Structure 1
Amino acid sequence: MTHYTLKDIARPSGGFAMLAVDQREAMRLMFAAAGAPQPVSDRVLTEFKVNAASVLSPYASAILVDQQFCFQQIVEQRAVSPGCGIIVAADAFIPGNGIPVDSVEIDHRVDPQAVKRDGAKALKLLVLWRSDEDAQQRLDMVNTFTARCHRHGLLSIIEPVVRPPRRGDRFDREQAILAAAKELGNSGADLYKVEMPLYGKGSQADLLTAAQKLNDLIMMPWVILSSGIDEKLFPRAVRVAMQAGASGFLAGRAVWSSVIGLPDTDLMLRDISVPRLQRLGEIVDEMMAKR
Structure 2
Amino acid sequence: MRKETLSLGKSRGLSQCADQDGIFNILALDHRQAIKKVFVESAEPYTEAVAFKRATVKALAPVSTAFLLDPSIGAGPSVADSSLPGACGLIVTVEVSGFAGPKHARISRLSDDWGVDQIKRLGASAVKLLVYYHPKSETASQMKELVAQVHDECARLDIPLFLEILTYSPNPDDSQLDPEQRTDAVVQAASDLTSIGGDVLKVEFPVDVNAQADPATWDEACRSISQASEIPWVLLSAGVDFPVFAQQVESACMAGASGVLAGRAVWKEALGVSPDDRDIFLNTIARERMRELHSICRQYGRPYTEFFRYEQLLEDWYMGYR
TM-score, structure 2 length as denominator?
0.81
Q: Residue 215 of structure 1: CA displacement? A: 1.2
Q: Residue 96 of structure 1: CA displacement? A: 6.3
Matched, 1:14 2:27: no
Q: What does the per-residue CA deviation read over 1:225-272, in whole Å, with 9 as the maximum and x for residues that have no partner?
A: 001422211112111101111101111111101221122122221022
Q: Residue 120 of structure 1: CA displacement? A: 0.3
Does the 8 A contact of 2:107 with 2:139 survive in 1?
A: no
In 2, distance between residues paired with 1:269 and 1:121?
A: 24
Does the 8 A contact of 2:119 with 2:127 survive in 1?
A: no
In 1, distance between residues paired with 2:223 and 2:141?
A: 26
Query: Which residue matches 2:244?
Result: 233
In 2, distance between residues paired with 1:229 and 1:120?
A: 28
In 1, distance between residues paired with 2:98 and 2:121?
A: 28
Does the 8 A contact of 2:100 with 2:108 survive in 1?
A: no
In 1, distance between residues paired with 2:209 and 2:254?
A: 14
Within the candidate set 271, 277, 280, 1:267 is matched to 280
Which amino acid counterpart does residue 175 of structure 1 have in structure 2? D
Within the candidate set 188, 203, 212, 1:179 is matched to 188
Q: What does the per-residue CA deviation read over 1:45-86, in whole Å, with 9 as the maximum and x for residues that have no partner?
A: 211111111111221111000112222111111111222100
Matched, 1:219 2:230: yes
TM-score, structure 1 length as denominator?
0.89
In 1, distance between residues paired with 2:183 and 2:46?
A: 35
Superposed CA RMSD: 2.7
Which amino acid counterpart does residue 262 of structure 1 have in structure 2? V
Does the 8 A contact of 1:60 with 1:84 survive in 2?
A: yes
Which amino acid counterpart does residue 17 of structure 2 have in structure 1? I
Query: Which residue matches 1:257?
Result: 268
Distance 1:40 1:96, change over 3 A: farther
Matched, 1:27 2:55: no
In 2, distance between residues paired with 1:167 and 1:15?
A: 39
Query: Which residue matches 1:276?
Result: 289
Counterparts of 1:66-77 in structure 2 under 5 Å? 66-77=70-81
3-state DSSP of counterpart to 1:198: coil
In 2, distance between residues paired with 1:104 and 1:95?
A: 5
3-state DSSP of counterpart to 1:80: coil
Does the 8 A contact of 2:23 with 2:302 survive in 1?
A: no
More deviation in 187-196 or 109-118? 109-118
| Runs (5+) with no aligned partner, structure 1 | none
Does the 8 A contact of 1:85 with 1:120 survive in 2?
A: yes
Does the 8 A contact of 1:46 with 1:70 survive in 2?
A: yes
Counterparts of 1:78-227 in structure 2 under 5 Å? 78-94=82-98, 103-130=107-134, 131-165=136-170, 167-169=172-174, 171=177, 172-200=181-209, 202-227=213-238
Does the 8 A contact of 1:146 with 1:156 survive in 2?
A: yes
Does the 8 A contact of 1:57 with 1:84 survive in 2?
A: yes
Higher strand share: 1
Does the 8 A contact of 1:132 with 1:167 survive in 2?
A: no
In 2, distance between residues paired with 1:68 and 1:144?
A: 23
Give the number of aligned pairs: 286
Q: Residue 125 of structure 1: CA displacement? A: 0.6
Q: Residue 289 of structure 1: CA displacement? A: 7.9
3-state DSSP of counterpart to 2:86: coil
Q: Residue 40 of structure 1: CA displacement? A: 8.4
Distance 1:207 1:289, change over 3 A: closer
